[in-house]
Amino acid sequence: MTQYPDLQLYIGGAWKKAAEGQPVLNPADESVIGMVPIASRSDLDAALAAAADGFRTWSRTSPAKRAEVMLRAARLMRERVEEIAYAITLEHGKPIAQARLEVVRGCEFFEWDAAEGQRTYGRLIPSEPGIKYIVMHQPIGMVAAFSPWNFPLSQPARKIGGALATGCSIILKAAEETPAGAIHIARAFHDAGLPPGVLNLVFGVPSEISEYLIPKDQTRLIAFTGSTAVGKKLTEMAARHMKPVLMELGGHAPVIVCDDVEPVVTAITSAIRKARNSGQVCTSPTRFYVQKPLYDAFSKAFAEKARTVTVGNGLNSCTQMGPLANHRRIEALETLVADAKAKGARVLAGGERLGNRGYFFPLTVLADLPDDARAMREEPFGPLALINPVSSIDEAIEKANALPFGLAAYAFTHSARNADRLAEGIEAGNVSINTLEASVAETPFGGVKESGYGREGGMEGLSHYTIIKNVSHRMM
Ligand code: NAD
């Protein structure tokens, strides 16, 4: 069965209709595919009450039982992959094959977290006779989470997985522009037997919901993925109430291409990766710093590959890159390209919107950009590759580190010495050498500098969802 789901809130284990807010648009043709439900104050109060009940039940459920429910939900999502992928492509635009991979990736997050949640071990600290010091990890409480539109299923999965694996309850405000991914997660958990109130899903006016939930006593962690600007706002608000935050924010990933690699293969690999999700990925490879001997061959091969990428409706099986997810991205890319051209950049491929219905923009390659071009400093969050020559690895590291971002970074080299220098020297939470994959379920993912705070994934990811309690016990 492939149809776009009915959009409702999910509170206290039940689906709830709500006032209709903005239309959900198919970015491939701008048609309306649904109306997002808007949570009222009383819906949010109901979600808070339900999450309190949910926390009482879930935090006292054994880790093994929690894992069982999570694995059952992941299994259901795997079984429903076609239906979910169809809905994601409809609301987001990405090619259906990428939507399927996103569903699988989301399931991997749940499966990893389910297993790792059973290993939140404490420790017993050796001490003088007669007293024991016991360190315990307890679930932090209710999590207020906010997920963005670029990965409608796998972004919510990160937050729900962390919360549920550790015994927390969660109110998730998922993206209004792409609500179906989170709705399918809630459906799967409902069908898997998750107790009411453990997972609550709302939509609405983002600032109103965050301003209402963050100050509440019951909210013990704020988890957000989105832009640095909004992340800072939420972090300030959280600080006023002394709440911890988990912030996964913007990036502007550098890619350093050393002169010991094969330029054409590296360029083709890079162009394919750049097209993923139409470049709307916080880890998307963006600033290519290529050592001079390879520069011409690399730029030429990248541009040639970019021109062959088929852009179209994600439901067509031959589409390699779908539309951008919303009109804001078209405007942002047009502005960045115009500014770069005015400052002397060369356009090697793409550069202009395709058609005027649907948010299509080609894979665009710019070369020889001055450091003050806006695209070199602002996250394009779109299919924009920026290629510049460098004379040395030291220069490349300096340029890579010049921005306030530090999320993902990449390098290509056959030299172990280069690889070590790059891994040590680049300021980023994730450095990938000879691969453009920045994170998988079992590794910690997150940023330094203005790219955020905290980690999602791996054993480190779960630590944010627990508090550490030390118990000192003198034997009487
Ligand atoms: P945005 O920051 O306004 O929105 C990002 C997400 O945050 C959306 O889901 C939105 O609903 C939510 N949000 C916005 N204001 C909020 C608030 N006050 N309280 C709670 N949630 C709030 O950005 P946008 O226009 O949707 O996207 C533009 C930029 O966002 C991109 O250029 C990119 O830098 C960043 N972004 C990053 C990621 C990521 O994976 N890190 C994902 C999406 C967007």
225 lines ligand 1 (CB under 6 A): yes
In sequence order, the 6+-apart residues with CB closer than 8 A to the CB of 371 are 377, 399, 402
210 lines ligand 1 (CB under 6 A): yes
Mean pLDDT of 148-157: 98
Do 169 and 229 belong together in one domain?
yes
**Pocket test residue of 230, 235, 278 for ligand 1, highest count of atoms within 8 A of CB:** 230
450 lines ligand 1 (CB under 6 A): no
pLDDT tier for residue 386 given thresholds of 50, 70 and 90? very high
DSSP symbol at 306: H
Task: Decide if 249 contacts 226 (C-beta within 8 A).
Answer: yes
Atom of ligand 1 nearest to the CA of 149: 9
Mutual angle of helices 96-116 and 154-166, in 10-degree steps = 10
Mean pLDDT of 284-305: 98
The neighbour count for residue 197, using CB atoms within 10 Å, is 27
Do 457 and 411 belong together in one domain?
no
Do 234 and 263 belong together in one domain?
no
Mean pLDDT of 193-216: 98
Give the integer Cα–Cα distance in Å for 454 and 252: 18
Mean pLDDT of 133-146: 98
Which alpha helices (DSSP H) does 385-452 contain, by range?
A: 393-400, 416-425
Ligand 1 center to 226 CA (angstroms): 4
Do 373 and 391 belong together in one domain?
yes
Using DSSP's 3-state secondary structure scheme, residue 142 falls into strand
Strands 285-291 and 346-349, by their bridges, are unpaired
Mean pLDDT of 275-299: 98
Atom of ligand 1 nearest to the CA of 229: 2
Residue 232 belongs to some domain of the structure: yes
Residue 81 belongs to some domain of the structure: yes
Do 373 and 390 belong together in one domain?
yes
Torsion of CA 87, 90, 96, 98, to 10 degrees: -80
In sequence order, the 6+-apart residues with CB closer than 8 A to the CB of 197 are 12, 13, 49, 50, 51, 52, 53, 54, 55, 57, 169
Residue nearest to atom 13 of ligand 1 (CA): 206
Average pLDDT, the chain: 98
Do 381 and 261 belong together in one domain?
yes
Residue nearest to atom 20 of ligand 1 (CA): 206
Do 238 and 111 belong together in one domain?
yes
Do 187 and 47 belong together in one domain?
yes
> What pLDDT, on a 0 to 100 scale, did the predictor assign at position 452?
97
Active site residue 248: yes
178 lines ligand 1 (CB under 6 A): no
Choosing from 116, 177, 282, 456, the catalytic residue is 282
Residue 445 belongs to some domain of the structure: no
Which amino acid, one-letter code, is at 240? R
Do 235 and 339 belong together in one domain?
no
Residue 2 belongs to some domain of the structure: no
- Is pLDDT of 1 > 60? no
Strands 364-367 and 384-390, by their bridges, are parallel
> What pLDDT, on a 0 to 100 scale, did the predictor assign at position 2?
73
- Is pLDDT of 337 > 90? yes
Ligand 1 center to 206 CA (angstroms): 10
Give the integer Cα–Cα distance in Å for 81 and 104: 8
Domain that holds residue 295: 253-440
Tell me the CA end-to-end span of the chain in Å, nearest whole number.
Answer: 65
**Pocket test residue of 36, 154, 227, 249 for ligand 1, highest count of atoms within 8 A of CB:** 227
- Is pLDDT of 303 > 80? yes
Give the integer Cα–Cα distance in Å for 107 and 158: 10
199 lines ligand 1 (CB under 6 A): no
Give the integer Cα–Cα distance in Å for 176 and 395: 42
The number of domains in the chain is: 2
Do 157 and 176 belong together in one domain?
yes
Do 428 and 459 belong together in one domain?
no
Residue nearest to atom 37 of ligand 1 (CA): 226
> What pLDDT, on a 0 to 100 scale, did the predictor assign at position 141?
98
Burial zone of 130 (CB within 10 Å; 0-12 exposed, 13-18 middle, 19+ buried):
exposed
Residue 62 belongs to some domain of the structure: yes
- Is pLDDT of 211 > 70? yes
| Exposure of 92 in the CB half-sphere (CA atoms within 13 A) | 33
Task: Decide if 236 contacts 215 (C-beta within 8 A).
Answer: no
Which residues, in sequence order, are bridge partners of residue 346? 367
For 436-475, the pLDDT digits (tens) are 999 999 999 999 999 999 999 999 999 999 999 999 999 9
Q: Which of 402, 399, 401, 362 is nearest to 382 (CA)?
A: 362
Residue 327 belongs to some domain of the structure: yes
> Looking at residue 461, which CATH number applies to its domain?
3.40.605.10
Whole-structure pTM value: 0.97
Tokens read off for 67: 């894992």
CA distance to 266, 337, 349, 362, per residue, from 303 (Å): 12, 15, 5, 11
Which alpha helices (DSSP H) does 15-40 contain, by range?
A: none
Give the integer Cα–Cα distance in Å for 39 and 22: 12
DSSP symbol at 3: -
Atom of ligand 1 nearest to the CA of 176: 11
206 lines ligand 1 (CB under 6 A): yes
pLDDT tier for residue 324 given thresholds of 50, 70 and 90? very high
Residue 310 belongs to some domain of the structure: yes
Active site residue 168: no
DSSP symbol at 194: P
175 lines ligand 1 (CB under 6 A): yes
Mean pLDDT of 35-49: 98
CA distance to 82, 120, 131, 257, 395, per residue, from 162 (Å): 25, 12, 33, 35, 39
Residue nearest to atom 35 of ligand 1 (CA): 227
Beta strands per DSSP E along 292-369: 346-349, 364-367
Residue 172 belongs to some domain of the structure: yes
Do 302 and 177 belong together in one domain?
no
The neighbour count for residue 144, using CB atoms within 10 Å, is 28
CA distance to 409, 416, 444, per residue, from 421 (Å): 13, 9, 21
227 lines ligand 1 (CB under 6 A): yes
> Looking at residue 330, which CATH number applies to its domain?
3.40.309.10
Ligand 1 center to 220 CA (angstroms): 22
Atom of ligand 1 nearest to the CA of 380: 32
109-119 core/surface letters (b: 16 or more CB in 10 A; e: else): bbbbbbbbbee
